[in-house]
Amino acid sequence: MKFLYIGGSDTFSKHELGFIASLKLLGDVDVIVISSDIKGSSEKLKVMSDNNLNEVKVLKLGIDATYRLLLRAGRLLKALKEYLGYYDAIFATPREPLVFSIALRRAMKPKPPIILRLWSIRAAKLKDNLRFGAYDDVAIFLPSVIANGLYIALSNASITLDHATHSFAKLVYPFYVKKLYRVYPPYGYVYVDGLSKSDEEVISLINPLNDYILILTTLSKHGPYLKFEARPHAIVAYSLAHKLRDTDVVLAGSSYEDWVRVFPEIKPPKNLHFIGRGFSDQVLEILYRKARLVVVPVTNRNISNRLLEALFFSRPVLTSEVVRFMHPELEHGKHLYISRWDNIIEEIVRVVNDDTLLSQLEEGSRDAYVRYFSTKVNALSTSKILGALKR
């Protein structure tokens, strides 16, 4: 079989790269990326996942608006017809990629089904966002419901990536229930040969460290994300380092300069280490593999790349209660450890000092990924969806 994946800049997110890798188990896959953030080009991309290295052909189209996409559709279709050929199915993300998928399919014979990758519905996260003070989301609730309903209507099938989004879609769009499928995504990343200078700098920072507590957050951001996610996560890292003086705590994704900007009057303990950002996924793997415990606080009810990473690398995971809504199959104390936010420090201290529990969580993390997220599981689910569409 041969597939076409059309997405925006979110094509390079971990869950979408993992899904693209899973398609390679079924056949060949070509990728089109539509985004204003890129320049037009074509290249071969190496995608690493649990099925090893996968090479895919990627065509990047730098188009910054739907109407420009439609104005250029005729010329693009003529050029793409020879470049891409025909496909058994088209997988597309919402907005411009879906619009272009529909236009492209019209030039194909036979016409393949379009399967929507619905990894998030903004309206479904209203409760979480209101809790964090994002009151503007009230105004976009109805437009989000209408827009996503239209995306589902225009596709032959829709794949949601977590239980919360899937449940919301089934509740709000009961007339499209037969179009909705829930498939947890695999983890994938772009593989780059060699190490950059920043990679080598990060490796030199983490080489002396072992059995640390790892937390990933981005203090360089601003607005609601900084206030309601990054800052609280950084406070957890600080509190842990202060409480566990003999244990190293690694804060990745944020630099010491970021800390000073956000917490100008708080001096971090010596056992709190800042790794920064901008390093490759090969280095990220080293960072995960050396961690004794990975703390992944999840605040929104949609797929979490941080949680997916930790499961992929088979690390013991401590997370927050929101995970119960996203992946109800994951069992507390077996696949991961679920903590309430109000006592997360005490729970982390207890877990990190329990060797038996850490061993169980490591094994459970590996089992959870293989059982629910792997490329093999996704390939099997994709085959079933394609079979259902042929009936």
Name which of 21-30, 132-141, 380-389 the model is least confident about. Answer: 132-141
258 and 307 co-located in one domain: yes
Same domain, 363 and 380: no
Q: Are residues 55 and 174 in the same domain?
A: yes
Q: What is the number of other CB atoms lying within 10 angstroms of the CB of residue 287?
A: 24
Average pLDDT of the chain is: 89
Question: Residue 112 corresponds to which tokens in the numbers above?
Answer: 């393949």
Domain co-membership, 112 together with 202: no
Q: Is the pLDDT of residue 208 over 90?
A: yes
Range picked from 58-62, 108-112, 319-323 for highest mean pLDDT = 319-323
Range of the domain at 306: 192-373
Which is higher by pLDDT, 384 or 126?
384
> In this structure, are 111 and 48 located in the same domain?
yes
Bridge pairing between strands 41-49 and 52-61: antiparallel
Q: Which two tokens stand for residue 209?
A: 């460290």
Mean pLDDT of 178-193: 96
Three-state SS for 341? helix
Percentage helix, strand, coil for the chain under 3-state DSSP, each rounded to 5: 50, 20, 30
- Asked if residue 163 and residue 153 are part of one domain, the reply reads yes
Number of domains in the chain: 2
- Give 248's Cβ-side CA count (13 Å radius): 19
Same-domain status, 179 and 133: yes
pLDDT tens digits, 87-125: 999 999 998 899 889 988 887 888 999 999 998 887 666
Section 171-179 average pLDDT: 96
Do 295 and 319 reside in the same domain of the chain?
yes
* 111 & 242 share domain: no
Assess whether 358 and 379 both reside in one domain. Answer: no
Q: Which residues pair with 317 in a beta bridge?
A: 294
pLDDT at residue number 96: 87
pLDDT value of residue 222: 83
Q: What count of other Cβ atoms lies within 10 Å of the Cβ of residue 341? A: 14
pLDDT at 232: 87
Same domain, 292 and 237: yes
Say yes or no: 29 and 68 in one domain.
yes
CATH of the domain at 110: 3.40.50.2000
What are the pLDDT digits (tens) for 335-374? 999 999 889 999 999 999 999 999 999 999 999 999 999 9
Phi, psi of 311 (to 5 degrees): -70, -40
Answer with the residue of higher pLDDT: 58 or 82.
58
User: Could you tell me which residue, 38 or 35, shows the higher pLDDT?
Assistant: 35
